[in-house]
Each structure stands twice: as C-alpha cells, then as structure tokens.
C-alpha cells in the first residue's frame, strides 16, 4: 500500500512540475520570463485561471479548448505533463528498490525535467538554450563532489571534457564534409553537460545510441516527409536526450553486457 501511495504522490508532483515544464518550453526560447506574467491563451491572450490550469484535469474538463475563446489547446500540454510524471516515477523506482540514494533521486528529477524542456525546445526551434546547458554543466560538476554521488569529481570533469571535445570534433569534421553546419553549438554543450553527470564511458554510449536513433528516425522522416528539404534539418538534441536518459538509468548494465559479450 505504501508503494502505491508513494508512486501516486510522486506522479502527481511530476504532473505539477510538468505544467511548469510547458511554461519553460514556450517561454525560454521566446526570452519571456518563466516567473511572470501569468500563463495566457496563445490565441486570445486571456489570463488562464488557476482552476483552468490544473494538470490533466483542466484539459479534460475544458474539452481541450480555451474557456474564453474556444481555441483548441494542443495535446502536447497534457502529454508533456504525463511524460514528466512518468519520468518522476521512474526516478523514484530507483529509491524504492534500493538501487540508489536520495541524492541520485534528486539528480534524476532534475535531469528528467531539464531534458524534457530541451527535447521540445530543440524540436520546435532547433536551438538548445545556453541557460539550460551551461547551468547544467555547473550543477553536474558541482554535485560530483557530494559523497552520495556514484560518479566522482574526476570522472565528472573527464566526462565533461570528453563529451564536449568529442562532439566538437564530430561537428568540425561534419562541417568540412558537408560544407555546412552539421551540429549546433547547443548539441556540443548538451553533450558536455551529459558528460559531467554521466562520466566518459556513458557519454560514449550516448553517442552510439543517439546516432543509431538519429539514423533510424531520420531515414523514416525523410522517406515519409512531403517536404524533403525541411525533413533533412532534423535536430539532434531530442536523440541525445533519449540516449542520455537510457545511459543514466541503464548505462552501466548496457556497458557491462557489451563487454561480457565481446569477451566470449
């Protein structure tokens, strides 16, 4: 019973934070304060009342429409809230089954939220704001000094350096080969941030997984898209985010299984 109540509570907290994630996704790339003013309907600019801003519930009650003008509310808003809720539950599962400590849990919550914001901003605007990655690098390096972290400070700094240097090298080579920007500076900083949190081994795993996902989904999108030119400008950040989450939760197991496999 305790487990169920705990999971429900963490999920609800994730939904509430997910509502704030939606605010960040909309406002950060537009350089609008994430603190004020109050959220407004994008169509009629009417302030959204508190009762109309309850995660998931308000969307269902309003039928996915603005109370004032009747404009449709994107399904992304509840989906982002749900995604953040499930990511929080995934993070809490580490604690509940004794796999990690509360320090790792807090880091998992932070990465879940920041990665979700980065995922959709890069998807929409093809940018990854420095305010998210630079602060993430600082936090990643700083928490590595805490005794509760599995990743020690030296591994964090090496991961930060290798993550940034590796992706910078790939970007430079890609620019020369394709005669245009092949990877944005935001991707490089995101890789450096991930390296600070995950270490050098996991950042190599992130590169492999993200590249695989990018190739698979990239080919599918190009083949299915009507506008072939725009389909070729696919942001790499979302794939890095997915790969980063996989590496954070299961990176050590994946690397161990791989080493056992090749040593047979």
| Residue extents of the structural domains in the chain | 1-99, 126-264
Check pLDDT > 80 for residue 99. Answer: no
Q: Is the pLDDT higher at 251 or at 94?
A: 251
Query: Is residue 198 within 8 Å of 251, Cβ to Cβ?
Result: yes
- Tokens 């890609």 belong to 174
pLDDT in tens, 200-226: 999 999 999 999 998 898 888 778 766
Instruction: Report how far residue 9's alpha carbon sits from residue 11's, in angstroms, rounded to the nearest whole number.
Output: 5
Query: Is residue 108 within 8 Å of 245, Cβ to Cβ?
Result: no
pLDDT in tens, 227-239: 555 555 678 999 9
* Predicted local distance difference test score (pLDDT) of residue 183: 80
100 secondary structure, DSSP code: S
pLDDT in tens, 13-50: 999 999 999 999 999 999 999 988 888 888 788 888 88
Tell me the C-alpha to C-alpha distance, in Å, between residue 154 and each of 59, 89, 138, 191: 46, 30, 14, 17
Tell me the C-alpha to C-alpha distance, in Å, between residue 257 and each of 32, 204, 240, 252: 46, 15, 22, 9
Whole-structure pTM value: 0.92
Tell me the C-alpha to C-alpha distance, in Å, between residue 180 and each of 69, 171, 191, 233: 44, 10, 20, 11
Instruction: Report how far residue 231's alpha carbon sits from residue 241's, in angstroms, rounded to the nearest whole number.
Output: 20
pLDDT in tens, 155-184: 999 999 999 999 999 888 887 887 777 788
Question: What kind and span of H or E run contains 162?
Answer: helix 153-178
Phi-psi region of 227 (alpha: psi -120 to 50; beta: other; left: phi over 0): beta
SS3 content of the chain, % helix, strand, coil (to 5): 75, 0, 25
Q: Show Cβ contacts of residue 184 under 8 Å, excluding neighbours closer than 6 positions.
A: 126, 127, 128, 171, 235, 236
């Amino acid at each position: 019973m305790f487990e169920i109540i705990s999971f429900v509570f963490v999920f609800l907290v994730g939904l509430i934070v997910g509502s704030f994630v939606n605010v960040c996704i909309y406002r950060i790339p537009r350089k609008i304060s994430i603190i004020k003013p109050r959220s407004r309907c994008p169509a009629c600019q009417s302030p959204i009342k508190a009762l109309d801003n309850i995660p998931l519930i308000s969307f269902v009650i309003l039928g996915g429409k603005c109370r004032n003008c009747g404009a449709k509310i994107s399904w992304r808003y509840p989906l982002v809230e749900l995604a953040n809720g499930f990511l929080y539950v995934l993070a809490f599962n580490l604690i509940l089954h004794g796999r990690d400590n509360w320090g790792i849990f807090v880091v998992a919550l932070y990465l879940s939220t920041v990665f979700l914001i980065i995922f959709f901003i890069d998807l929409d605007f093809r940018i990854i704001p420095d305010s998210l990655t630079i602060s993430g690098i600082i936090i990643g390096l700083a928490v590595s000094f805490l005794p509760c972290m599995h990743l020690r400070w030296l591994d964090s700094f090496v991961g930060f350096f290798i993550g940034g240097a590796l992706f910078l090298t790939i970007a430079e080579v890609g620019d020369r080969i394709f005669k245009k920007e092949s990877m944005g500076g935001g991707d490089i900083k995101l890789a450096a941030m991930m390296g600070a949190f995950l270490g050098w081994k996991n950042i190599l795993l992130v590169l492999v997984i993200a590249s695989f996902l990018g190739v698979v989904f990239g080919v599918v999108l190009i083949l299915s898209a009507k506008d072939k030119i725009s389909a070729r400008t696919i942001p790499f950040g979302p794939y890095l985010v997915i790969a980063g989450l996989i590496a954070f939760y299961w990176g050590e197991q994946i690397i161990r299984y791989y080493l056992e496999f090749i040593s047979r």
